[in-house]
Amino acid sequence: MSIRIQKTFEALFALEEIRGLFRESLPTGFDPAEEAAFRQKIAEVKAILADLEAGTGTPKVTKIAGSIDIRTREEQSINIQPIQAAGRLTTEARKALISYGDGYSTCDACRKPFRLDKISKPGIAEFHADLAKFVNMDHARVVPGARRGFQAVTGTLVNKGDSVIVSALAHYTEFLAVENAGGVVKEVPLNAKNIVTGEATALKIEEVKRETGKLPVLVMIDHFDYQFANEHEIKEIGKVAHQYDIPFLYNGAYTVGVMPVDGKAIGADFVVGSGHKSMASVAPSGVLAMTDEWLPKALRTTSMVGDLTKRKFGIKEVEMLGCTLMGGTLLSMMASFPTVKARTLKWDEEVKRSNYFIDRLLKITGSKVLSEYPRKHTLTKVDTTGSFDTVAQTHKRRGFYFSDELSSRGIVGEFAGATRTWKLNTYGLSGKKIRYLADAFTEVAEKHGLAVEK
């Protein structure tokens, strides 16, 4: 690790220790012992900052709480891990996490009607309204990840034995959400290009109708899937769903927060997004948005009454189990939101940089792209069986040689040891980093005797 990165973390930790002194003292200020501890900590911070500025010194803190490693991959490496790229926190989100990390920090000013989406300080109520506008829907709630959005919708619409239409590339959490509600998934087959089409969706609905005697109760399809990140015919699928009067859930886990999403233009009844995957937020976080039509059902409030106490909790939303995201998780999402909104308008630039890298990768003889090409997304599945894997066949480290080569160049996130089919994500990398990444792959190829087209 770079000594400057090391000293940056040490300085942050030392400042947190100073913060701890304030938390332990009386509101009236430090007593003599606390003042002495404060001054000692200030001296430590100054020494760390001197090392940081000069790039000198030795590591003094290598673990948190004695056993937890310091995570520095975003500071010292280019991270191409497929699910982490768009979840990197913004600087503002990291500040919010420091300030609001305490468990119930969002509840400091909670007043009647005692519900998360009604809190005005900090501006959580306004944030919910902004989220709905962001995806052009009528209502939005924050949820603990996209999976909890799926679960809320299936819990509302699906009964035992009901059929739910999903993609043949659907994420496992979609399956679990349907299973949890007692339903049965029915998968739409892919075409030759691994795309889910509107026509195939209509045929699957007809098949389910013939086999079960009734229509599916929900169509739930990813805009870009997690396996290939191919773009599916989402508007056509939404149109088909409505032709059969079936509600449509748009899975935007890989779109909401990185590219413009207009739920109503798509024809979605529900829009689900992932905060920690695509909205620069702490995990687990996500968003569930819906049209006016579904508010009374999907966000119904409890009507249950205690048999002894006669207690009622009528304002609490059943599918949300009352309140959802609290503390640093929610505030990180809120703090990143201005940046997230702005970056969706630059999606074309992100895709262009992704294609630059993929074009360079394809110049390495034997490399292939299994996803759509040219790319429409920054997440891509590649096949290097004919290139980097040929080296692995005789290398003493087998496929791990490739990880070693990338790591030595400050590149992490590829599946360790994988040299055949694997995924990467270039989202958020600057042009400078994209060129460095492409050059590094070329250098590794040439070092091991692989032909590279000039």
Please tell me the distance from the alpha carbon of residue 79 to that of residue 299, in angstroms, as a whole number: 38
Which residue bears the tokens 């220790």?
Answer: 17
| pLDDT for the residue numbered 55 | 97
Tokens standing for 132? 């709905």
| pLDDT for the residue numbered 314 | 86
Would you list the DSSP string of 55-103? Answer: T-------EETTTEEP--HHHHSEE--TTTGGGPPPHHHHHHHHHH-ST
Residues with Cβ within 8 Å of 140's Cβ and at least 6 positions away in sequence, in order, are 128, 129, 131, 132, 134, 287, 288, 289, 290
Q: What percent of the chain has pLDDT over 70?
A: 100
| pLDDT for the residue numbered 176 | 98
Please tell me the distance from the alpha carbon of residue 317 to that of residue 295, in angstroms, as a whole number: 10
- Residue pair 272/288 in contact (Cβ under 8 Å)? The answer is yes
Q: Which residues of the chain have pLDDT under 50?
A: none
Residues with Cβ within 8 Å of 414's Cβ and at least 6 positions away in sequence, in order, are 80, 81, 402, 403, 406, 422, 424
**Strand 286-290 relative to strand 379-383, pairing:** unpaired
Please tell me the distance from the alpha carbon of residue 199 to that of residue 322, in angstroms, as a whole number: 40
- Residue pair 268/250 in contact (Cβ under 8 Å)? The answer is yes
Q: What share of the chain is helix, strand, coil (3-state, %, to 5)?
A: 45, 15, 40
| pLDDT for the residue numbered 164 | 98
Please tell me the distance from the alpha carbon of residue 73 to that of residue 260, in angstroms, as a whole number: 29
Phi-psi region of 66 (alpha: psi -120 to 50; beta: other; left: phi over 0): left
Q: Which of 69, 53, 50, 49 is nearest to 61 (CA)?
A: 69
Please tell me the distance from the alpha carbon of residue 156 to that of residue 226, in angstroms, as a whole number: 25
- Residue pair 216/208 in contact (Cβ under 8 Å)? The answer is yes
| pLDDT for the residue numbered 1 | 81
Tokens standing for 6? 């090391």
Convert the pLDDT of each residue in 243-263 to its tens digit.
999 999 999 999 999 999 999
Phi-psi region of 323 (alpha: psi -120 to 50; beta: other; left: phi over 0): beta
- Residue pair 361/435 in contact (Cβ under 8 Å)? The answer is no
- Residue pair 287/273 in contact (Cβ under 8 Å)? The answer is yes
CA of 78: how far to CAs of 189, 226, 428, 438, in Å? Answer: 36, 21, 10, 12
Query: Please, which residues bridge with residue 288 across strands?
Result: 141, 272
| pLDDT for the residue numbered 454 | 86
Sort 396 into a burial class: Cβ within 10 Å, 0-12 / 13-18 / 19+. exposed
